[in-house]
Structures are given as C-alpha cells and as structure tokens.
Amino acid sequence: MNEDTYALELPKKTYFGIGAVEKVREAVKVLKVSNALIITDRGVINAGLVDTLMKELSSTTVKTSIFDEVEPEPTVESIENAAKSLEKTGGIDLLIAVGGGSVMDTAKCVNVVAMNGGSILDYEDDIKNPRPIRKLLPLIAVPTTAGTGSEASIWAVFTDTKRKLKTSTSDPKLIADIAILDPNMTQTMPPTLTAATGMDALTHAIEAYVCIYANPITDAFSVQAIKLIAENLRTAVEDGENMEARANMILASFMAGSAFSNSSLGIVHTMAEALGGFYRISHGITNTLILPHVMEFNLSANVEKFTKIAEFMGANVAGLDVNKASKKSVSAVKVLSRDIGLHQTLREVGVKREDFPALVDITFKWANESGNPREVSKKQLRELYEKAY
Ligand SMILES: [Fe+2]
C-alpha cells in the first residue's frame, strides 16, 4: 500500500442540481452576511442570469450591489478597477461571483487586494516572497460556464499586459466558500463557448490524472470528469437545451477543478498560459490546440493511465498492446475537439511562428515545475509549438 498522505481542500458547501441557484438564500444565512457585491460581466447580465439570482436574494434581508465590468481573461488594471468599485461601495461582507472563469478569478483577485492591500502583483505565485493572503470576504461562486472549475480551485489567473504574461495567485482560502452548480445557469451559453470551456475542463481532468501529484482521491474526480465530458460535451454543444448534458458538464467541470486544485496540472496549461499572455485567445481554445500534442509527448511516462483515458473516452483498445492503446487517447481527444467545431491549429487563431522563441523561454521557466509527468527541454517545447502550429 502507498504510504503517502493526502490533503483534500474543497468548498465548504456545494449545491448541485437544476434550480440550485435558489439555495443562495440558504447560503447567505449560513454565512450570516448582509451586504453582497455581485461580480459579473455584461454577457451574464444580458443573459438574465444576474436577475435570476437577484430574484432569489430579494426574499432575504441581504442588500446587493453589482459590478458588471469584468473583462475576459482579466488584467491587472481590470482587477484594480473592480477593487476600487468594492471600496467605493463600502460595508460589503460577501462577494458573489456569477460568471465563467474570468469572473470567478476577478472576484478572487479583488478579494485579495481589497482585504489585504497592495496590488495583485504583490501576491503573484512566481515572485520570490509573495505577500501573504491573511483574510478574505466569504465568496459564493455561481459558475455560468462548464468550465474552468475555478469555484473549486485554489488559483486565480490574471494577465499582466506589460510583461505579456499570464500569471496567478494561489491559496487554499481562495476556494469559494460556497459553490452553487446550477445547470440552468449554463443553458444560454453559445455552442463555441460551451465547446471551448468544456475542453478546458477536459484538459484539467487529463492533466490532473497523469501529473506527478495525482493521488487516489484526485484520480476519482479526474476519471469521472473525463467520462462525463466524453459522454456529454458533444450533446451540450449541439443542443444547449439538453439539461442532462448541461448538468453532467457542470458536474464534470467542478470535479476536474477539484482534481487539479488538489494535485496539479502539466505543460498543456504552461504552454496555453504563455500563449494567453501574447494573444487575446480564450483559455479553452489554447488548451484545445495544445492538449493532443502534449498528450502524445507524455504517453511514454504513463502508458497505463493514457490507455485508461482512451477507454474512458470510448475508444476500443481490445487486443492492442499498451503503446498502441495509449495512443488512442490522443486520437479520441482530437476527434472530440473536431466534432464540436473547434480550430485545430495555432495558425488558424493568429499565432505567429516568430513568437515561438519567446514563448518557449516563458514556458521553459515553469514547465518542469508544473507537475507534468515528463521532463521537457527547450528543444522539445519548440517542437510541441511547431506540431500545434
Ligand atoms: Fe484551465
């Protein structure tokens, strides 16, 4: 028996199910709060999702204000802008994030800055002595994509445009206190966003499953997430009204988020974040374009787990030796991303080959600390960018 010990950090409470958003009334009672700032973006407002939440809150004594200027892939400046709004409002004792990863990550970063002072850059994971995060307001996360799994994760990702760098801050306290997973809140997501965010969740599940910090608990989450995504993402993209597919996708996103938050990720995310710092391409898309190539590179590090991924994704591996069987995981991922209509190459989304040396430098700095199951050299990283091109 393996004698390692593991720790598991999750939201204190998670509500799941169609109509679960009504549980926000119970959540504010549990947290004993009276003055909430709802953090969201215009798209979520226009879809009527904040109205749904406000309707539930109207029967409570909680006062509400709204900040709806979250940008996609939040920058240092947009976080500062949101933090100012929180300070101006005054007396806030709860944050409610209603949106996708950008909204949830903005809410986390705003919480850090507003409650602990300074700039979000003072808390960056990659600096020598990041400022400690001592206190935070309670956070309720209501994801409207499926998704980043940010509600379950210790990380908040942001972009420093001056350095062309996507970076992060992390702390177990950044996990949402309460997560409300309501498939109804994802129903209006258009097909392309459903596809891209679903592939982000798949990337989390696969990277968490094969990374060197995987453990039996995170494996359980990863395996279930991979199966649910393989079985439901196509339907969720083709028929957004299919609530069974929507429910399974939001569940998969949460499970994949819980998996990587308690283990780690790998060089798909390192490469995707480097690309995200250079180009305004959504995180789900960059992951989709990189994932199969890194899987192929990583196969030899764990053929057994990659063979299982192939099986979970519905590939027939009967009678194949493990090397051939494990390769089926790569083709299954490629077929899925093609079926749901996503781009297949970096070229198609405007990435320029002349940026590869700089991208390789940034990626190399973090790739071998990412938890990836195989060490990678600069030359190999360059080859991976070339293959994805
Ligand atoms: Fe991700």
Distance CA 339, CA 335 (A): 6
Position with higher pLDDT, 24 vs 87: 24
Report the C-alpha gap between 209 and 53 in whole angstroms. Answer: 34
pLDDT of residue 247: 98
CA–CA dist 370, 350 (Å, integer): 26
pLDDT in tens, 5-32: 999 999 999 999 999 999 999 999 999 9
Query: How many angstroms does the Cα of residue 157 sit away from the middle of ligand 1?
Result: 9
Model's pTM, two decimal places?
A: 0.96
The confidence band for 4, taking pLDDT boundaries of 50, 70 and 90, is confident
Distance of CA 336 from the midpoint of ligand 1 (Å): 17
Res. 197 pLDDT band, cuts 50 70 90 = very high
Q: Is the pLDDT of residue 3 over 80?
A: no
**Residue 1: per-residue pLDDT:** 52
Q: Which residues contact 191 (CB under 8 A, 6 or more apart)?
A: 237, 238, 240, 340, 341
Count how many Cα atoms sit within 13 Å of the Cα of residue 201 in the half-sphere of its side chain.
38
Q: Which domains does the chain have, with CATH numbers?
A: 13-186 (3.40.50.1970), 191-388 (1.20.1090.10)
Residues 160-181 have pLDDT tens digits of 999 989 999 999 999 999 999 9
- Residue 149 banded pLDDT, cuts 50, 70, 90: very high
Q: What is the mean pLDDT of the chain?
A: 96
Distance from the alpha carbon of residue 62 to the mean position of ligand 1, in angstroms: 33
What is the whole-number distance in angstroms between the Cα of residue 147 and the centre of ligand 1?
8
